[in-house]
Amino acid sequence: MLTTQILYALAGCVLLALGVRGALLHASVLLRIVAINIMGAGVFLLLIAVAYRGPGLAADPVPHALVLTGIVVAVSATALALALARRLQVERDDG
């Protein structure tokens, strides 16, 4: 158990909770998408903190691989969400 691990993991929890709150409370779709991305950042922070093994020691590569794919999935999900948001706007403007 390392202080560094705990500190960064705590920050990850805070980011996750802030992101959930923002995603639930914001009225704007774009702001909600930003909030969901911040939720994701919190999860990544948690995972990378857990992977840390201390200075001079190699970190656990499995969570690193997970986060790496997670970042790419997050950006493609964001793109899909933005496309949906734009389509919603078009439908609203037409209707």
Q: Does 36 bind other proteins (CB under 8 A)?
A: no
CA–CA dist 45, 14 (Å, integer): 10
Q: Does 95 bind other proteins (CB under 8 A)?
A: no
Q: At what angle are helices 29-51 and 3-25 packed, to 10 degrees?
A: 160
- Other CB atoms within a 10 A radius of the CB of residue 54 amount to 10
Q: Does 44 bind other proteins (CB under 8 A)?
A: yes
Q: How far is the CB of 83 from other proteins (least distance, A)?
A: 4
* Sequence-separated (6 or more) residues with CB below 8 Å from residue 39: 15, 16, 19, 20, 23
Q: Does 16 bind other proteins (CB under 8 A)?
A: yes
Kindly list the residues in this chain that would bind other proteins in the complex (CB under 8 A): 1, 3-11, 13-22, 24-28, 30-31, 33-35, 37-38, 41-42, 44-46, 48-49, 51-53, 55, 58-62, 64-65, 67-69, 71-80, 82-87, 90
